[in-house]
Structure 1
Amino acid sequence: MSGETAVPRAGDSTGARTVRFAGRIAGFGTASGTRIVAGLWQRSPFGPFADVMLEDAGGHRTLLAPSDEVAEFVSSTYSFDEVRVVPVAWHRITGGLRVEASGLEARLFVGAMPPLGRLLRVVPPRIATAPLWLEAIDPLARVIVPGVRTAGTAGGGRREFYGVTTLRRIAWAGARLDGVDLGAFAALDPPVRFGFGSAPPEPHLVDLVTSIRMPAAG
């Protein structure tokens, strides 16, 4: 799929603009304490790409990004202790997906759609991904799913909005890092600390559009 270009916000003469990333995010935990959030972005200013964010039991946060350009943008938006530029890829497998990134290999199997997922599908995507809507429902989102935010302040003076359109449970997942098994499938707990919000504690695969409002030029 072709990349989605960043465009200036309508009516903004200062040069402020909003960039959009459309794709999927999977988040889950492991018995070792390492939590994994993997993204598969089908449309973005950088074209299609995949990336992975890891936080271990000691709180060390690592970004695995496929290019210097992606690494610079993502690490300027979120917070990491380490950034690695490595090949990152997703592959379809029977019942789920496999993620590979340098020394990381993760597999996940997709389960049923929960009631919240069915509710999200009722909202037209045009509304569900609109920053004004996401700003308005952020207080409610925090109550419905603790730790989750739909709007907040990102790094570099940026404002970020998460518009989820579909949500499915992850039935099982497992991962190995540098040849070491990270342990049994677990909740994403404690919450990850890459940005202003975390993925849900219960492991999910979500379809979403992430909108990032960049600061005005100058």
Structure 2
Amino acid sequence: MNKKLTYAGIAALLLLVISGCGDKPTAAPANEQGQDSTTVVNGAGSNEGGEGATATATATASPSAQPTEEPTASPAATEQPTAPAKQSKSISVYYTDPQQMKLVPAKTDISYTNDVEKYSEAYKSLQSSSNSDQVPLWGGIELKSLKFTDGQIIMDIHKPDEAQLGAGGEAFAISALVQTLFQFEEVKSIEVLVDGEQAESLMGHVDLEHPFTRENSGL
């Protein structure tokens, strides 16, 4: 009888022990904990490695920015000065008749842009004529240069031997010149040089004034 009770008590005690063991939380195996820890670390490392790889790939794909050269400014087009407009004027010029007996006035038109060109064109008009009754007296005499300063025309001429005239022709030539140029009111005097020098006479018959004025020309 006592043995039965003893066995029953032992059995009850074992049940209590077994029941108590079932209520305690079961600790995770060490291997599983190690695996979980490794997984977390590897996961973090993988993420960081992915970002680094992406940044490296981006840096490789995108070339470093090159400095942009400023475009060289092309020089501004230089404006060409506008040529002055030509003026036209009807003037009187003087020739002689075929017998060289008198001066013959005529009208002609000249075009010019300034005073020097105006007087040069007037002189050119004395050198030619389309009318056989109007004989030019300055046809063979070259105008080398002409200047206009302070109301004075300074003209330098060259007279070849074939342009020589007699006394009457020379007098008419000088009169034709001064009357043609003194019609311009701004002209106060005319200095005639022969090959750059003040000559006593143009053709050896009539004295040259230095300079000619309206008073000493009888105008």
Structure of higher CA gyration radius: 2
Structure with more of its chain in strand, by fraction: 1
The higher relative CO (CA closer than 8 Å, separation ≥ 6) is in: 1
Question: Which interval holds the TM-score relative to the shorter structure?
Answer: under 0.3
TM-score (norm 2): 0.24
TM-score (norm 1): 0.24
Structure with more of its chain in helix, by fraction: 2
